[in-house]
């Protein structure tokens, strides 16, 4: 999995027991490093030697959390909300946004973070880490977003071994549009990149090159088939990236229902920014201005010849139809 690390441990809370009475500073200091080493060894055993770990490596009973750097509370979680200190417990996520890249996962996460009962990292950790998870109160949900999970072969098994009850959210988008958006993002960082057409097809307009990640990610049916080996379909919610733009309140409402949350985030929280072509969040009480996603969201796409678009649409069509059948949803991409 991207970023290495492990998806190990139990789904319990992450708050370790404090030192017992009578323990001095000299005795307390080494406990956090030892606990962290134990966590790493347990995670390594779970993912490098599946099926052969001792029970302690699989359960990862709560241990004292590692010492945290100063001001960690300002770097994690929602702006202005302390997560490294104060009330609450660290827990492994009960819900994950597992994909897909350039589908609208960042937008969905930011919209959900308006909900008082959702705590989530703003970054993409790519692995579950006790020191990174924000603190939550009883009744709150811990979430994480890492879009690469959906297309990573090992991710379903690893996540299932952590907690088979995890709720999984997949934001999907027309795979052709998604591929072009993916290319646009890469092109912004690598100006000398070959053309979209040269990367998408072998030998001009020959066979589609599914080895290129921008194309391969859009094979949603294949990726979902891998996940369904470990999780039932009822554990998934599939969010339309297109409707997340045209009707953000409606899609976020579906997510809140799926998570068992009251519909707190509604249409009153959104307005459409015509310049970006994307919904933004209205200013919150006490805030000076509305909040839109970063400049990379709504980035102009490079012009792709119509013949290339049509070839890709024809290529994806059978995969799209299978995905519609698997999910019971017609996303209208054809």
Which residues, at least 6 apart from 258, have a Cβ–Cβ distance to it below 8 Å?
167, 169, 237
DSSP of 34-64: HHHHHHHHHHHHHHHSTT---HHHHH----P
Q: How far is it, in rounded angstroms, from Cα 175 to Cα 152?
A: 17
Q: Kindly report the number of other CB atoms within 10 A of residue 158's CB atom.
A: 21
What is the number of H-type helices and E-type strands within the chain?
13, 9
Instruction: Flag whether 276 is marked binding.
Output: no
- Secondary-structure breakdown of the chain: helix, strand, coil percentages, each rounded to the nearest 5: 40, 10, 50
Q: Is 287 annotated as a binding residue?
A: no
d(CA 121, CA 225): 28
pLDDT at 283: 65
Tens of pLDDT, residues 266-284: 999 998 888 778 899 986 5
Whether 102 sits among the annotated catalytic residues: the reply is yes
d(CA 320, CA 310): 14
Predicted pLDDT of residue 87: 53
Alpha-helix residue ranges (DSSP H) falling in 135-247: 155-162, 175-189, 196-200, 213-216, 220-227, 241-246
Model confidence pLDDT, tens digit, residues 236-277: 999 999 999 999 999 999 999 999 999 999 999 998 888 778
Cβ pair 320, 205 in contact under 8 A: no
Structure tokens at 210: 């599914």
In this structure, what token pair is assigned to residue 128?
Answer: 């579950």
87 is in an annotated binding site: no
Spans in the chain with pLDDT lower than 50: 1-41, 43-44, 46-52, 54-85, 126-131
Out of 102, 145, 283, 295, pick the active-site residue. Answer: 102
Sign of CA dihedral 315, 318, 320, 323: negative
Beta bridge partners of 142: 119
Q: So what's the pLDDT on residue 251?
A: 97
* Parallel, antiparallel or unpaired: strands 270-273 and 278-281: antiparallel
Would you state the pLDDT for residue 219? 98
Angle at 117 between CA 292 and CA 271, to 5 degrees: 25
Give the length of the chain. 334
Please answer whether residues 332 and 225 qualify as being in contact, where contact means their C-beta atoms are separated by less than 8 angstroms: no
The residue with tokens 């992450």 is 14
106 assigned binding-site residue: yes
pTM recorded for the entire structure:
0.70
Instruction: Evaluate whether 135 touches 87 at the Cβ level (below 8 Å).
Output: yes
Q: Which residues contact 74 (CB under 8 A, 6 or more apart)?
A: 82
Instruction: Please choose, from the candidates 55, 65, 75, the residue with its C-alpha nearest in 3D space to the C-alpha of residue 10.
Output: 55
Q: Is 332 annotated as a binding residue?
A: no
Strands 141-145 and 95-99: parallel
State the pLDDT at residue 277. 80
Beta-carbon neighbour count of residue 152 at 10 Å?
Answer: 19
Q: What are phi and psi of 70, to 5 degrees?
A: -55, 145
Query: Is residue 52 a known part of a binding site?
Result: no
């Amino acid at each position: 999995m991207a970023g290495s690390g492990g998806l190990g441990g139990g789904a319990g809370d992450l708050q370790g027991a404090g030192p017992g009475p009578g323990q001095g500073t000299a005795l307390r200091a080494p406990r956090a490093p030892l606990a962290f080493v134990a966590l790493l060894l347990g995670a390594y055993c779970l993912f490098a030697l599946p099926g052969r770990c001792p029970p302690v490596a699989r359960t990862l009973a709560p241990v004292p959390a590692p010492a945290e750097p100063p001001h960690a509370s300002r770097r994690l979680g929602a702006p202005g909300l302390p997560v490294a200190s104060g009330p609450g417990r660290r827990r492994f996520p009960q819900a994950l946004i597992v994909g897909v890249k350039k589908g609208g996962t960042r937008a969905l996460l930011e919209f959900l973070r308006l909900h008082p009962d959702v705590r989530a990292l703003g970054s993409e950790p790519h692995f579950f880490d006790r020191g990174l998870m924000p603190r939550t109160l009883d009744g709150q949900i811990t979430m994480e977003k890492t879009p690469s999970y959906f297309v990573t072969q090992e991710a379903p098994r690893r996540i299932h071994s952590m907690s088979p009850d995890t709720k999984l959210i997949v934001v999907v988008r027309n795979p052709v549009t998604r591929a072009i958006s993916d290319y646009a993002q890469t092109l912004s960082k690598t100006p000398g990149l070959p053309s979209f057409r040269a990367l998408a097809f072998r030998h001009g307009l020959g066979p589609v090159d599914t080895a290129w990640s921008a194309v391969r990610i859009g094979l949603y049916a294949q990726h979902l088939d891998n996940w369904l080996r470990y999780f039932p379909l009822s554990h998934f919610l599939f969010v339309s990236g297109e409707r997340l733009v045209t009707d953000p309140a409606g899609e976020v409402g579906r997510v809140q229902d799926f998570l068992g949350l009251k519909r707190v985030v509604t249409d009153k929280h959104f307005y459409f920014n015509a310049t970006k072509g994307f919904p933004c969040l209205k200013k919150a009480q006490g805030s000076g201005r509305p909040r839109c996603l970063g400049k990379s969201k709504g980035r102009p796409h490079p012009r792709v010849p119509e013949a290339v678009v049509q070839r890709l649409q024809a290529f994806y069509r059978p995969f799209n139809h299978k995905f519609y059948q698997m999910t019971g949803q017609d996303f209208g991409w054809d």
